[in-house]
Structure 1
Amino acid sequence: MSIKLEMLRTFSIVAQKGTLSGAARVLGRTPSAVSMVLTQLEDHVGAPLFETDRKSRLTPLGQLILEESQRATDVFDKSIDAIRRHAISSVGIVRIAAVPSATVALLPKVIDRYRTTHPDVRIEISDVDTAAVRRRVQRDEADIGILSARPGDPPEGEGILRDDLGIVCVEGGPVHRAHLAAEGRSDWNLLTHEPLIANPLCNLVDDPLVRTLLDGSRLEARNTTAILSFVRRGLGASILPFDAVRSQPAGVEFFVPSTRLSQRELRKIRQDKDRTGPLIMDFWSLLSG
């Protein structure tokens, strides 16, 4: 009898849970049925996979097979997911991983243009931070990535646009009043008037005060809509790019400090061009338009 994927999946879950009963609950099977599958796997490899019958400690061979099992099931699950998604779309699919501000400021108009020539293509958007964008593209979980970077950072991908980073605050609040009092000579130190709502874009500001405020922040959000909602409720001020708040909601103010100007650059990344089909390349081209 050959090793089957379901054996590897069952073994992996038993190893994770440490008991047959725990694995049985996850798998929706009886402990005796799970035990039988493990016995079949051990019979095939010719050696025990667990140190004891309690399934709480793996043998060296068991550890090796666990790693291979997880790798095999991950590949299988990704393949099934790809088949499912392509079956849903009659033409094809384009997967985008983008930083939150890009999903607000950039992607709506690009998707609108793309649909004029590709109305039946399914588009999937993952709203994640820059590190997750890189990971998704590297793991082939996204066809195109859009990340944030400082204009002077090492070359990565292709630049799409640059915009100024600024302070977003509630209208009439302490930061806004201090900004008005400064009469155009504002600085990042205005953020000391309210708690800082941290987000990954704050790390792009090259200012020691901002770094200090980040260390002391007690509220963090990564989604632009959530950040603006928190600001509007008076929970604090934050740092966002101009394009992300171009159409900011009522009750929110945005301004760029007059000193120590900081910018954010959106860049697009993808895997090897040879692996990229025409549907993806058409979307890629529109990102520079």
Structure 2
Amino acid sequence: MPIKLEMLRTFSVVATQGTLAGAAAVLGRSPSAVSMMLAQLEDDIGAPLFETDRKSRLTPLGQLVLEESQRATDVFDRSVAAIRRHAMSAGGIVRIAAVPSATVALLPDVIEAFRKAHPDVRIEISDVDSAAVRARIQRDAADIGIVSAQPRDTPEGTRIRSDDLGIVCVEGGAIHLAHMNTQGMSGWDLLKREPLISNPLCELVDDPLVAEMRIASTLEARNTTAILSFVKRGFGASILPFDAVRNQPDGVEFFVPAHSTSQRELRKIRQDNGRMRGPVAAFWDLLKD
């Protein structure tokens, strides 16, 4: 008998629950039915998946099968969810994975323009960092990605816009006061006056001091809202692009170091072999400088 997805799902639940009774309750089946399906799976594989009949400990092969079972069921569940979302949306769907600053500063205008021509299309936005954006594009969990990159980096995707990276700090704090006293003529060395709240954008600053402080940092955040909240509470300062703090909250200051300017580019990416059609292609075309 060929291995079926339902066999893998049943095995995964049993392995997670540790007992037939617990798995039966989760699956809504009788323990005997669950046991029979496990036996069919083991017969087809030709080796035991559990060390004992109590199903509380996996064999090395069982551990491998568990990982593959979870991967297979996750892919299937995502596909089913995507199909259902498409069925619910009469005009189709566009899945966007974008860095937080793009979500705040770039996407609202694009979405407004897109909805005028495609009011029935469902738009899904994932607010994540650049590494997660790339991962979602690679595994086809997003149609379009927007990442942050340094202008000197190897070209990736298509450039949308660029802006300056700067220091964001609490109003009235040590960095803000030092910046005011130097009349704006200051560099990244001002960061030494407060703890650094690290985030992936720090990697885009070509300065050895920033690299050292990032390694030594004891607080890291990847969401722009969280970073600004931490800065406002006085936990330290951070590095963000101008677009991310265009409408910064009260009590927070932003400035670009005068002696060493670093820029961040926003680039749109997609799968190398991805063929965009309909709404996705229309949204892609609207993402421009």
The alignment's TM-score, normalised by the length of structure 2, stands at: 0.91
CA distance in 1, matches of 2:150, 2:122: 32
- Equivalence for 1:237: 237
SS for the counterpart of 1:275 is coil
* Identity across the alignment (%): 72
- Equivalence for 2:58: 57
- Equivalence for 1:264: 264
Is residue 18–residue 57 contact of structure 1 (8 Å, CA) maintained in 2?
no
CA distance in 2, matches of 1:154, 1:22: 52
Question: What letter matches 1:57 in structure 2?
Answer: L
CA distance in 2, matches of 1:227, 1:147: 18
Q: 1:253 to 1:280 in 2, by over 3 A?
A: same
Question: What letter matches 1:243 in structure 2?
Answer: D
| 1:157 CA displacement | 0.7
What whole-Å deviation, never above 9, does each CA across 1:13-39 have from its counterpart, x for those lacking one?
A: 334555445545654556554323212
- Equivalence for 1:275: 275
Q: 1:199 to 1:43 in 2, by over 3 A?
A: same
- Equivalence for 2:176: 176
- Equivalence for 2:146: 146
Is residue 51–residue 59 contact of structure 1 (8 Å, CA) maintained in 2?
no
Is residue 92–residue 279 contact of structure 1 (8 Å, CA) maintained in 2?
yes
Which segment is superposed worse, 106-115 or 206-215?
Answer: 206-215
Question: What letter matches 1:35 in structure 2?
Answer: S
- For structure 1, the 5+ residue unaligned runs are none
- Equivalence for 2:225: 225
Question: What letter matches 1:134 in structure 2?
Answer: R
Q: 1:74 to 1:181 in 2, by over 3 A?
A: same
What whole-Å deviation, never above 9, does each CA across 1:178-236 have from its counterpart, x for those lacking one?
A: 00011121111111222211111111111111122212222222111121122222222
Cα RMSD for the two superposed structures: 2.2
- Equivalence for 1:77: 77
What whole-Å deviation, never above 9, does each CA across 1:108-164 have from its counterpart, x for those lacking one?
A: 111111111111111100011111101100000000000011111112111111111
- Equivalence for 2:35: 35
CA distance in 2, matches of 1:167, 1:46: 61
Is residue 91–residue 121 contact of structure 1 (8 Å, CA) maintained in 2?
yes
Is residue 168–residue 255 contact of structure 1 (8 Å, CA) maintained in 2?
yes
| 1:251 CA displacement | 1.7
| 1:42 CA displacement | 2.5
CA distance in 1, matches of 2:185, 2:52: 71
SS for the counterpart of 2:97 is strand
The aligned length equals 288
SS for the counterpart of 2:39 is helix
Question: What letter matches 1:11 in structure 2?
Answer: F
| 1:271 CA displacement | 1.4
Q: 1:113 to 1:33 in 2, by over 3 A?
A: same
CA distance in 2, matches of 1:288, 1:226: 28
SS for the counterpart of 2:162 is strand
SS for the counterpart of 1:178 is helix
SS for the counterpart of 1:268 is strand
Q: 1:49 to 1:265 in 2, by over 3 A?
A: same
CA distance in 2, matches of 1:247, 1:173: 20
Question: What letter matches 1:135 in structure 2?
Answer: A
Alignment of 1:1-289 (within 5 A): 3-16=3-16, 18-20=18-20, 23-24=23-24, 26-27=26-27, 31-55=31-55, 56-58=57-59, 60=61, 62=62, 65-66=65-66, 68-272=68-272, 275-289=275-289
SS for the counterpart of 1:145 is strand
Is residue 48–residue 59 contact of structure 1 (8 Å, CA) maintained in 2?
no
